[in-house]
Chains A and B, each alone.
Chain A
């Protein structure tokens, strides 16, 4: 009863209301859509604004940093001028004196007066007494020379030593130069050598310094080597670098074995091994080049030595370094348009270059690998190689042993799913036989997959029998049936035969091709092993070459140079 009441109730009002609500809702939806759109727009606008704002802030920061750097640089320079201004004066004077001494146009009195004045102006600076000592020496004033020299050595022993060593070399005072060189060597710590040491070493090797200095250097070098080679740490580090160097200079592959590349599963190993074997030849050339070079580099070295001297004289001193560094940093900020980070990066890189200190073995290794990069010439390279000969040979032996150990024992052939390994290709007949057997098996399995059409034959036969039976009723129908049966039988047999022939044909073709490829691969394997052996044998040659390098060897080069100079 109640159901009826509801069914007759008038729901149209509710319906209408619902309809209007849904209409309103869709209105709200579309409103919302447009609102969303607007909000997205706003958001993107806001992002743009934020971006441009941050850009602005960044630019502003940079601008401010730039302004600050400019102001600071000015202030710092002023500071530097106030605190160390006289240093610059002394440096200028030193250069002047050196040039004046060279040309001999300055009177003794002037030299004396000016240098002594400098002494008062620049207390604590090593160059001032050094200059006094130098000028007194020129004037033959022994007691003053010694006094001033003592003071200079007290202030900065290392720089004074380097300074006098260079000056004596310039003035070709061999004996004095040798003494200073001896002192210079005493300053050097083989664990921490300065950058300029390579140039000194180079100068001694090429004969720019007096001939006796070579002997002095070799004695020092020998001591250092004894010190550094007591433990394995330093030597092993160098050996590792040499092995890596040998690995790295390997030649590129030539694509000489296209079939092996395509049909072997371990081609990567084979190729790598051949490349390693070919490296011996490259190493041979490398060392031959080093030994045979005998150009006269002494002129370039002289220029470099003078450069050290002028750097020593003009470069900032340790005390002013913090201030100078700040000036440089602000300069870089200005250069980088206020970008502090970029300036800091450049600053760090610069500092790394100039503060670099290396141990003696590393210096030798650097000079042997890449003389140009480490600031040495080929003469020093030859010296470095001859000094490091023992561990270079050990590293080379290790490299050779690694190469030989990495030679793949087998060439893993994979031709058309026929997988077979061969050692050196000498088993060609066996392999060809195996391949034949493989294709026979393939043929067998392929043929076994092809089923004989028994079903169709039975149907055909049955139709034939039906034809015979029908023959008694109606000869024409019978003949038709018989004919149909025969056609079915013949047809199915024919199709089967065709499929079989096709498989045989296909496999025969594969076999033919496979055989050709296998023969090609075997031929290439034989060639590969021959080439590999040939290249590997060169290792013994290189070994003999490296063993034959001795420090005396390269001295023939430098002796010549010495003769040229004297």
Chain B
């Protein structure tokens, strides 16, 4: 004979579900919509000069803001987006892992292996930018929606 599931039964289920997910960031968090501020900031990198420390600090601050309380290990290693400097430049990367510098790549230049594998999607018009993580690649559309590759 069956028993009716009571609220406490449900509770058990949810607890047992939660346990395995602890320790890494859920897809729900990674796939949440990115803010317009963050998008604007990254896409306008070409126009801005980041030589002054103020601009650089601002950039880092807003990126940290965007990812909230996420641990450092869960932040993207870097961000690739289309370069609007024009020919022969194709894409540029924002390296968040170390020196936080912007590097523009010409069509013929190859990037680091982790970045290179996302190059063709980064060039695609449907995506504003691509976040590179240790174990995944997240594509961000113009409207801020994220999808996982």
Is B53 interfacial (CB 8 A cutoff)?
no
Cα(A311)–Cα(B149), bound, Å:
47
Cα(A409)–Cα(B119), bound, Å:
10
The A contact surface, by secondary structure, is: helix
Contacting pair B21 A232 (CB below 8 A) = yes
CB-CB nearest in chain A for B15: A230
Is B14 interfacial (CB 8 A cutoff)?
yes
**Contacting residue for A230 out of B5, B17, B121, B148, CB 8 A:** B17
Contacting pair B147 A401 (CB below 8 A) = yes
Cα(A18)–Cα(B13), bound, Å:
96
CB distance from B12 to the nearest CB of A (A): 11
* Chain A residues, CB < 8 A from B4: 157, 183, 186-187
CB-CB nearest in chain A for B31: A394
Interface size on B, residues (CB 8 A): 29
Contacting pair B14 A155 (CB below 8 A) = no
Interface size on A, residues (CB 8 A): 31
The B contact surface, by secondary structure, is: mixed
Cα(A158)–Cα(B5), bound, Å:
11
CB distance from B26 to the nearest CB of A (A): 5
Please judge, given known A-B contacts A230-B14, A401-B147, whether A235 and B27 are in contact too, CB under 8 Å: yes
* Chain A residues, CB < 8 A from B2: 156-158, 187
Is A231 interfacial (CB 8 A cutoff)?
yes
The contact string, 1 if C-beta is below 8 Å from chain A, for chain B 14-35, is: 1001101100001110010000
The contact string, 1 if C-beta is below 8 Å from chain B, for chain A 17-50, is: 0000000000000000000000000000000000
Chain B stretch 118-149: residues in CB contact (< 8 A) with chain A: 118, 120-121, 124, 126, 137, 139, 145, 147-149
Is A54 interfacial (CB 8 A cutoff)?
no
Please judge, given known A-B contacts A227-B10, A236-B27, whether A394 and B121 are in contact too, CB under 8 Å: no
Cα(A536)–Cα(B26), bound, Å:
29
* Chain A residues, CB < 8 A from B3: 157
Please judge, given known A-B contacts A394-B147, A405-B149, whether A156 and B1 are in contact too, CB under 8 Å: yes
The contact string, 1 if C-beta is below 8 Å from chain A, for chain B 40-81, is: 000000000000000000000000000000000000000000
Is A260 interfacial (CB 8 A cutoff)?
no
Contacting pair B120 A404 (CB below 8 A) = yes
* Chain B residues, CB < 8 A from A155: 1
A-B pairs, top 3 by smallest CB distance, nearest first, are A397-B147, A158-B2, A401-B149
Interface residue ranges, A against B (CB under 8 Å)? 155-158, 183, 186-189, 191, 227, 229-233, 235-236, 318, 394, 397-398, 400-402, 404-405, 407, 409, 539-540
List 16 A-B residue pairs with CB atoms under 8 Å apart, sorted by A's residue number: A156-B1, A157-B2, A157-B3, A158-B2, A187-B5, A191-B13, A230-B21, A231-B21, A394-B31, A394-B147, A397-B139, A401-B121, A401-B148, A404-B120, A404-B121, A405-B118
